[in-house]
Amino acid sequence: MKRVTIKDVAKYANVSIGTVSKVINNKGYVSQGTRQKVEESISVLNYQVNANAQSLKALKTRKVAVIVSDISNMYLMSIAKSVEETIRKINYHMILMSHNDKPEIEAELFQIVVQQQVDAMILIPTGANGEIIKRIMDSGIHVIAVDRRVNDVETDYVADSNYKGSFEAINYLQNYGHKRIGVLYGHTRNTIGLERYQGAVDALKEAGNYQQSLICETNFREEEAYLKTMEILSLPNPPTAIYSCNNTMTLGVLQAIKERSMKMPEDLSVIAFGDPVQWKLLTPQLTLMTQQVRQIGLEASMMLKNRLLIEEDFPYRERIIEPVLTPGETVAYLN
């Protein structure tokens, strides 16, 4: 006969695993009606509490895992710093890891998360491994997704309005008279890549300026962005403007422009989606669709703090932050 688990009890009572755990351990607020449903489910299913597991789960490790896609990305490190500052004030400590946008590495990091018995996880997901993430959440570990959604799994979530930001960035270039616009996007396997790609493509198609040869997938990597930029700038009819969808890829774009001895905006107009801190010393000043990194970091930190400190269950929260167009000196009117 299959052993009844806490997950079975939660499903039968139509509550979360965390709620069942609170009833079993008699810790945290649970309404009388919900408590009665859980107790009835335990009785009906003949659930036997594992004393060792109960004792282990009652202990908080006061660890929070922060898993990002790229530790060289200053925007992501700014978010990690905001999280660390918040959790230190409540006596928690951060474990920082990076998956480099590789699902197989992300899966390995999840093993560490489980082994370390962290209390919560801030995650910039690859777009894969949804089943593993669901199992992690079912074990009682809180997950807050930042920048990208976890595919097919509901979590707390905070991110930019990626589609709108991309759409408006392309329209900004088109309003300056540009029609041949190169787009360097990451990929479409996660929500941030897909939304920024789709926003750019829709804006180009709406204006009748979409050209497939100028739309380049670069996997969020500097080297690939550099190579694709060199490629489209070598076309017989090159673009007059380039839109880069994140900070890391923009480094590759700028390297290619420098190696071709081109000037912005005289020879090529450039707009990028990203964090302005990375570009504050760049001359000329880069035109940006600016991520509100401080607000995103603060929202993620508050979501995390609430999950760690509030005992009762509450619905998942979602916050979408509008990026802001910051005109610089790298976009010129095209006659």
Q: Provide the domain limits for residue 53.
A: 6-57
Q: What is the pLDDT of residue 56?
A: 45
Whether 280 and 299 map to the same domain: the answer is no
CATH number for position 45: 1.10.260.40
Q: What is the pLDDT of residue 234?
A: 97
Whether 31 and 79 map to the same domain: the answer is no
Q: What is the pLDDT of residue 50?
A: 61
**Model's pTM, two decimal places?**
0.77
What is the side-by-side order of every strand in the sheet holding 181-185? 215-217, 181-185, 241-244, 269-274, 287-290, 324-326
Whether 213 and 253 map to the same domain: the answer is yes
DSSP state string for 210-278: --GGGEEE-TT-HHHHHHHHHHHHTSSS--SEEEESSHHHHHHHHHHHHHTT--TTTT-EEEEEE-GGG
Whether 140 and 231 map to the same domain: the answer is no
Classify the C-alpha dihedral 146-171-249-102 as positive or negative. positive
Q: What is the mean pLDDT of each run of 10 residues along the chain (335 residues)?
A: 77 87 76 87 77 54 94 90 94 96 95 92 94 90 94 94 97 98 96 96 98 97 97 97 96 97 98 92 96 92 94 90 96 92
Q: What is the pLDDT of residue 55?
A: 45
CATH number for position 178: 3.40.50.2300
Q: What is the pLDDT of residue 51?
A: 52
Whether 182 and 248 map to the same domain: the answer is yes
Q: Which amino acid is at 185?
A: Y
**Residue 332 included in any domain:** no
Question: In the structure encoding, which two tokens stand for residue 275, read together?
Answer: 């964090």
- Helices within 26-123 (DSSP H only): 32-45, 51-58, 74-88, 103-115
**Residue 326 included in any domain:** no
**Residue 269 included in any domain:** yes
Among candidate residues 93, 100, 113, 95, the one with its CA nearest the CA of residue 68: 100
Whole-number Å distance between alpha carbons of 120 and 118: 6
162-175 and 191-207 helices cross at what angle (nearest 10)? 30
Whole-number Å distance between alpha carbons of 325 and 321: 13
Q: Which residues contact 193 (CB under 8 A, 6 or more apart)?
A: 127, 185, 186, 187, 220, 245
Q: What is the pLDDT of residue 4?
A: 79
**Residue 328 included in any domain:** no
Query: How many distinct structural domains can be found in the chain?
Result: 3
Whole-number Å distance between alpha carbons of 177 and 240: 10
Q: Which residues contact 213 (CB under 8 A, 6 or more apart)?
A: 232, 235
Pairing of strands 241-244, 269-274: parallel
Whether 92 and 129 map to the same domain: the answer is yes
Whether 174 and 280 map to the same domain: the answer is yes
